[in-house]
Structure formats: structure tokens, C-alpha cells
Amino acid sequence: MDFAAVHRYNPGLLRIPAIPHSGSLLMSDSKKPDKARRNLVVATSVLGGAATVGAAVPFVASLLPSERAKAAGAPVEIDISKLPPGELGIFEWRGKPVWVMKRTPQMLKDIKKDDAVVVDPHSTVPQQPEYAKNEFRSIKPEIMVLVGICTHLGCSPTPKLQPDGDMGSEWQGGFYCPCHGSKFDLAGRVYKGVPAPKTLEVPPYQFLSDSTILIGEDKKGA
Ligand code: FES
């Protein structure tokens, strides 16, 4: 791995109550703030973050990939140590939102309840890395890593992380795309009978430590 090509995100955190329209990287669970599971939005501006550390700016800047490298998809290294369980962290990779969440034991149980209502419950369709071909579509069951873009026409779905609320009594928590009504569970698996044809993309990734994930490059160098 080329260390100099790793895009380090500043750990500064920002909480927001609502979802800007498509094209934005920021989303929330609903228009009504949910104090129990507020979405956690992780600052995605390295330059903005670096500006807060004063003298460190020249050094940090020297580690950043060039604009050309970022456009080509340089991997990004993210720190999830401050991400509370059950909250959604949103990071940027290749200009796309990448959703990362520490799923709670209850969330993992709830995902199993969705097996009957999703199209590909065990991820047998070859559309994710080999290590995500499982029910939870992840390397570690408790850590969710997904590209937050609807597989229908590319809107960014709204997190509806709660198993109750306005999604009906069968809803176990997941993501709802308001553009045309597609639904995905907390593993990104698409529901049957919705416009989206496929589950949400799992990007190539690997754990550099328990709290650090490299997005955009796995152990095969994808
Ligand atoms: S873009 Fe998501 S349902 Fe159409």
C-alpha cells in the first residue's frame, strides 16, 4: 500500500438534523431528529480539518493524494473509534458516500428477520467482494460498510435505522430511497418488489486495526 496515497480523514464530527438533496454526502434517519440513533456524520474535508491544526498543515497536506489521484480512486483511511454503536458514519470515497456503522447485537438479529423479504439473502449474486458474500455482507458481522447510492437510478437513500416508525410494522431498520420507493435492510440487501435491481454496493476494504478501515483497497489490492 502506498502510504502517501492514503487519504486521511480528520476525526472532527458533525451532527446534522436533515438530508440535503441528492449530490450531498450528508443524510439523516428522518426529518424528525432521532435522539436515540442520531446519524453521525464524519467530516469529509481534510483541508478544512487540517486548517484547525495550524502548524501541522504543511505536513498533513504533503500526505494527501493529488486531486488526480483522488479522482482515480485513491483509498481512504477512516477512524471509527468515535463512532457510537447504532449510529451512521458517512465518509467520502471516489466522490461517493460510504456508510459505516457498528451494528448492535439487536441489529444483527433484526437483519436475520429480513431474509424472507430481500432478493438475495445470502449475497450469492456476484456483486460484492468475496469476503462480503454472506448474510451481513461484511468482513465483521458488526461492522457495516456500504456505498450509500441506490442501485436504481443513483439517488442517495434515507437512513431509517429504527425498526418502528413510519416504515410499517414489518420494518426492521434499513434505508429507504424516496426517489422511487426502493428499500434496503441494514446489510444493504434490497427488498423484493422494489425498483432497485440489486443490493447496495460493498466497496473493497480492509481493517488496518480494530478501529481503522481502509476503503478502496482490500488485501488483494483491489
Ligand atoms: S433511485 Fe432509488 S428508487 Fe429510484
Distance 194 CA to ligand 1 centre (A): 9
Distance 54 CA to ligand 1 centre (A): 43
What is the structure's pLDDT at 177?
97
pLDDT tens for each residue of 13-28:
333 332 322 323 333 3
149 lines ligand 1 (CB under 6 A): no
Distance 72 CA to ligand 1 centre (A): 26
pLDDT digits (tens, 9 = 90+) for 97-140: 999 999 999 999 999 999 999 999 988 888 789 999 999 999 99
Tell me, using a 6 A CB cutoff, whether residue 108 lines ligand 1: no
The verdict on residue 221 lying in a domain is: no
Give yes or no for residue 55 having a pLDDT over 50. Answer: no
Protein residue closest via CA to atom 3 of ligand 1: 180
Burial of 156 (0-12, 13-18, 19+ CB in 10 A): buried
Q: C-alpha 28: how far from its chain's center?
A: 12
- The size of the chain, in residues, is 222
Q: How far is the CA of 149 from the centre of ligand 1 (A)?
A: 9
pLDDT at residue 57 is higher than 50: no
181 domain-assigned = yes
Q: Which domain holds residue 106?
A: 3-9+19-215
**CATH number for position 63:** 2.102.10.10
Is 222 inside a domain boundary?
no
Residue 209 lies in a domain: yes
Percent with pLDDT over 70 in the chain: 66
As a whole number, the mean pLDDT across the chain is 75
| Contacting residues for 44 by C-beta, under 8 A, at least 6 apart | 9, 25, 90, 91, 92
Give the Cβ contact number of residue 214 at 10 Å: 19
Query: Which of 78, 74, 80 has the alpha carbon at shortest distance from 95?
Result: 74
CA of 67 to the centre of ligand 1 (A): 30
Indicate the residue type of 35: K
Domain presence at residue 136: yes
In this structure, are residues 29 and 160 in contact, taking their beta carbons and an 8 Å threshold? yes
Please report whether residue 58 resides in a domain.
Answer: yes
* Encoded amino acid at 48, one letter: G
Work out the pLDDT band at 53, boundaries 50, 70, 90.
very low
- Is 43 domain-assigned? yes
CB 58 within 8 A of CB 121: no
Q: How many domains does the chain fold into? A: 1
Atom of ligand 1 nearest to the CA of 157: 2
Tell me, yes or no, whether 14 lies in a domain. Answer: no
pTM summary value: 0.73
